Homo-oligomer: A and B are copies of this chain.
Amino acid sequence: MTYGNIFLALGDPTRRSVLEALRHQPMTVGMLAKQMPVSRPAVSQHLKILKEAELVTVTPKGASNEYALNRKGLDEIRAWLDSMWDDSLEAFKAHVDQKPENNN
């Protein structure tokens, strides 16, 4: 279950703040830490988790590392949501289609 990490990553408010900051433009760790209420190591640890969940990407820029949004992780969440509704509609359809005969 690959989206397990993703939901876990999105469960933390600080990590969501990081993602929401990265919506507007890619940022380095220092830039992110400066506008957040936690320390730089904390941000670094969060970024590690976000990276493993494929919610962000890293590209080294000299001495600093630039982080950007990664579409992949968010797409998986969307797929999970879609699957929830597919199955739900299936169940509804089965409910509508049910007939007294042929229920083996």
Contact = CB atoms under 8 A, between A and B. Distances in A.
How many copies make up the complex? Answer: 2
Interface stretch (A2-10, A31-39, A40-48, A59-67): A2-10
A91 B23 contact: yes
A100 interface: no
Contact of A81 (B4, B24, B78, B90): B78
Interface of A: 1, 4, 7-8, 10-11, 13, 16, 19-20, 23-25, 69, 74, 77-78, 81, 84-85, 87-88, 90-91
A87 B25 CA distance: 10
A19 B85 CA distance: 11
Contacts of A90: 24
A25 B87 CA distance: 10
A84 B74 contact: yes
Which 3 A-B residue pairings sit nearest by Cβ, starting from the closest? A11-B11, A23-B87, A7-B10
